[in-house]
């Protein structure tokens, strides 16, 4: 029985010592760590931290992009019985300062000079921060910085004098011990430090893998930030639990190339990646000949029938033979975009469109959807393999209960609930009631097979001046089905009607404009063209034809720039900060409502 996270890792080290655990591209070659090498470096690094003077319960932050040193440092902190504080590498200095001060962090791992410079800027405001360790060699004007390799040398010396130190530490870890503070993204206020324990992580890993059925021969491609619990648990600890390989992408911008390079069996991603792949294929089909379009449409229809018959265990020779032809003519080329070995992708963090799900099912590739939150050690529900319920995010994992409150809020209970928010017992009591139910803030319902369907966040419900409740997320997702729309933020709280701030998909829009010989020097000029405004009016009108009158977007603004984390418009997990958007574009939004005459999208 595995009691804590380091024990999970070293169980895999024992079972699969020579399996490749971590793989990263360095120039034209690769650096790899077997599980045996990974386990050894974790112990050495933990010994180095002890040599520095770090103790049980000390908080140690990690500020870095994904690379092998990230999980090695994470496990080393655990082995020391310390508390890991992940920090998004995209955060500006003032937000990093808040997390380091609130968590009382004593040491921090930084990736490189860029990340260290952020610490250097706020150093005088961090009285608790004693140690800085850098993965790369950096220059410092403020204090001594210990290089990662130097820490390994210290660890080797310490292990010589204390050979049993690490194993004794691991053996004495209580499952209830807090091992990580993960700061929530803070869409509506200051981030809160979620206190997470070994018991919750171990339960989540073991019972998630039961449904995922991962293999020790699998390769995962890692590109989502490890500072987010989604990648850390689902993209790292779950494959590590079975002895699979984690191949690091070079960057989020190179994912398509990295897929071809890594040829992964599984990827953990947000829906946007899958939607972009599907949209790219659809665009290529639309620009091809009528004959090729007909072949693609036939292949899609055949693939969907093949998937349905396979799930129902009704596959016949005729369907199999037709699918083999579709595979040879169409599907093989699409699968090569994802490396050619993809068994199934995993999607989370946002709703996945049913159209995208069916697109991949036609390739005989089921996207596994899940639902989770930091306060529940991540995974709450997962879609059982081969049992998709369209629009659902799956069933609760074993040991976790889900019910729906009278107002539609999703409530969760079980061994994976957080220990609370650090230094905020008041907010902890608000989040988990006296009966032990976590109030997620999400609105949803359960079907008769206990599949969970989410509709929106409670805080995202817009109430018009006429008293109508309008759920923002479902309408935003409907609009994002258009290839010309990259992102949407609905507004209209206590207003006469709903409006939208729309970020165009400029790649698709420029292509559309080029075909029509429209001239514009900048994106701002492009979205001001009457033809472009008419395109979006018609697109919105068509997409929301099935919505109630009070739910429909009546006016909109086309944004000249994408929403970004750096500008404070998105959380590090890429969720829209609605209150920030409304404040930042207050004047533009007000202008929408000065003129009582709505767009022609009102029916």
The per-residue pLDDT for 599 is: 46
| Helices 472-479, 530-543: inter-axial angle, 10-degree rounding | 120
The whole-angstrom separation of Cα 600 and Cα 597 is 9
The count of domains in the chain is 2
Helix (H, G, I), strand (E, B) or coil at 397: coil
The per-residue pLDDT for 279 is: 82
Instruction: Write the CB contacts of 368 (distance below 8 Å, at least 6 apart in sequence).
Output: 212, 344, 345, 346, 347, 382, 383, 385, 394
The whole-angstrom separation of Cα 252 and Cα 476 is 24
Under a CB-based contact definition with an 8 Å cutoff, are residues 247 and 23 in contact? yes
Residue 445: inside a domain, yes or no? no
Residue 188: inside a domain, yes or no? no
Domain boundary pick from 230, 246, 269: 269
CATH for 549: 3.30.300.30
The per-residue pLDDT for 271 is: 85
Q: Read off the DSSP letter of residue 458.
A: G
The whole-angstrom separation of Cα 38 and Cα 76 is 11
The whole-angstrom separation of Cα 555 and Cα 533 is 11
Q: How far apart are the first and last CA of the chain?
A: 62
Residue 303: inside a domain, yes or no? no
- How many Cα atoms are found within 13 Å in the side-chain-facing hemisphere of 200? 27
The per-residue pLDDT for 595 is: 62
| Helices 113-122, 93-103: inter-axial angle, 10-degree rounding | 70
Domain boundary pick from 221, 250, 269: 269
Residue 30: inside a domain, yes or no? yes
Beta bridge partners, 576, equal: 570
pLDDT along the chain (603 residues), means of 10: 96 98 94 98 98 97 98 98 95 93 98 96 95 95 92 97 95 97 74 96 94 93 94 97 97 88 94 84 88 95 92 91 96 92 88 88 91 96 85 95 95 98 95 96 94 87 86 90 92 92 94 92 95 96 92 94 82 77 90 66 43
Residue 29: inside a domain, yes or no? yes
Closest CA to 460 of 404, 498, 515: 498
Residue 43: inside a domain, yes or no? yes
Closest CA to 438 of 407, 473, 405: 405
The whole-angstrom separation of Cα 374 and Cα 185 is 10
User: Which tokens is 50 given?
Assistant: 């002890």
Residue 354: inside a domain, yes or no? no
Under a CB-based contact definition with an 8 Å cutoff, are residues 404 and 412 in contact? no
The whole-angstrom separation of Cα 218 and Cα 49 is 32
Residue 182: inside a domain, yes or no? no
Query: 118 vs 94, 111, 159, 198, 210, CA distance in Å?
Result: 9, 11, 33, 31, 41
The per-residue pLDDT for 277 is: 86
Domain boundary pick from 233, 248, 269: 269
pTM for the whole thing?
Answer: 0.86
CATH for 261: 3.40.50.12780
Structural domain span for residue 580: 464-594
Closest CA to 241 of 498, 532, 84, 9: 9
Q: Which long-range contacts (CB under 8 A, 24 or more apart) does 307-312 make?
A: 307/361, 307/362, 307/364, 307/366, 310/364, 311/386, 311/387
The whole-angstrom separation of Cα 580 and Cα 109 is 30
The whole-angstrom separation of Cα 243 and Cα 238 is 9
Sign of CA dihedral 38, 88, 228, 251: negative
The per-residue pLDDT for 149 is: 97
């Amino acid at each position: 029985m595995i009691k804590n996270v380091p024990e999970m890792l070293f169980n895999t080290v024992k079972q699969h010592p020579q399996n490749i655990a971590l793989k990263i591209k360095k120039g034209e070659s690769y650096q790899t760590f077997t599980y045996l090498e990974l386990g050894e470096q974790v112990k050495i690094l933990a010994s180095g931290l002890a040599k520095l003077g770090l103790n049980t319960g000390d908080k140690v932050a990690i500020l870095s992009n994904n690379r092998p040193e990230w999980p090695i440092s994470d496990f080393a902190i655990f082995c020391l019985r310390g508390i890991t504080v992940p920090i998004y590498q995209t955060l500006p200095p003032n937000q990093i300062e808040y997390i380091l001060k609130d968590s009382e962090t004593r040491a921090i791992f930084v990736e490189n000079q860029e990340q260290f410079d952020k610490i250097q800027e706020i150093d005088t405001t961090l009285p608790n921060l004693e140690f800085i360790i850098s993965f790369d060699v950096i220059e410092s004007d403020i204090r001594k910085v210990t290089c990662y390799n130097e820490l390994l040398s210290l660890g080797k010396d310490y292990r010589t004098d204390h050979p049993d130190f690490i194993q004794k530490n691991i053996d004495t870890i209580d499952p209830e011990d807090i091992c990580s503070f993960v700061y929530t993204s803070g869409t509506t206020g200051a981030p809160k430090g979620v206190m997470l324990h070994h018991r919750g992580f171990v339960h989540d890993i073991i019972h998630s893998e039961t449904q995922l059925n991962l293999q020790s021969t699998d390769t995962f491609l890692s590109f989502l930030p490890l500072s987010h619990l989604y990648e850390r648990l689902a993209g790292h600890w779950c494959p590590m639990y079975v002895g699979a390989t984690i191949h690091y992408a070079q960057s989020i911008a190179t994912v398509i190339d990295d897929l071809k390079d890594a040829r992964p069996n599984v990827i953990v991603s947000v829906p946007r990646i899958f939607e972009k792949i599907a949209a790219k294929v659809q665009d290529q089909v639309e620009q091809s000949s009528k004959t090729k379009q007909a072949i693609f449409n036939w292949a899609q229809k055949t693939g969907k029938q093949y998937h349905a018959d396979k799930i129902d265990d009704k596959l016949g020779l005729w369907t199999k033979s037709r699918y083999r032809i579709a595979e040879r003519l169409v599907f093989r080329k699409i699968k090569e975009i994802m490396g050619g070995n993809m068994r199934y992708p995993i999607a989370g963090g946002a709703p996945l469109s049913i159209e995208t799900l069916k697109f991949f099912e036609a390739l005989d590739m089921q996207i596994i959807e899940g639902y989770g939150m930091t306060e529940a050690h991540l995974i709450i529900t997962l879609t059982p393999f081969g049992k998709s319920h369209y629009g659902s995010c799956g069933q609760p994992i074993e040991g976790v209960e889900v019910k729906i409150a009278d107002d539609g809020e999703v409530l969760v209970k079980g061994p994976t609930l957080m220990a609370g928010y650090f230094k905020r017992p008041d907010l902890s009591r608000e989040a988990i009631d006296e009966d032990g139910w976590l109030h997620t803030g999400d609105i949803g319902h359960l079907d008769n097979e206990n599949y969970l369907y989410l509709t929106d966040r409670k805080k995202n419900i817009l109430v018009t001046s006429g008293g109508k409740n309008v759920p923002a997320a479902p309408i935003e997702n409907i609009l994002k089905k258009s290839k010309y729309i990259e992102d949407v933020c609905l507004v209209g709280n206590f207003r006469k009607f709903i409006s939208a701030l729309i970020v165009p998909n400029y790649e698709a829009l420029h292509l559309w404009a080029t075909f029509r010989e429209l001239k514009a020097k900048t994106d701002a000029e492009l979205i001001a063209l009457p033809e472009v405004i008419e395109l979006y009016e018609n697109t919105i009108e068509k997409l929301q034809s099935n919505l109630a009158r009070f739910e429909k977007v009546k006016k909109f603004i086309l944004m000249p720039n994408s929403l970004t984390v750096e500008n404070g418009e998105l959380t590090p997990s890429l969720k829209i900060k609605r209150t920030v958007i409304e404040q930042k574009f207050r004047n533009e939004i007000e202008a929408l409502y000065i003129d009582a005459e709505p767009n022609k999208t009102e029916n």
